[in-house]
Amino acid sequence: AQKVTQAQTEISVVEKEDVTLDCVYETRDTTYYLFWYKQPPSGELVFLIRRNSFDEQNEISGRYSWNFQKSTSSFNFTITASQVVDSAVYFCASKTDSWGKLQFGAGTQVVVTP
Q: Give least dist CB 98 to another protein, A.
A: 9
Chain contacts with another protein (rule: CB under 8 A): 4, 6, 9, 33, 35, 43-45, 47, 50, 91, 93, 95, 99-107
Q: Give least dist CB 93 to another protein, A.
A: 8
Nearer to another protein, 46 or 60 (CB): 46
Sign of CA dihedral 62, 58, 46, 52: positive
Nearer to another protein, 35 or 75 (CB): 35
Q: Give least dist CB 96 to another protein, A.
A: 11
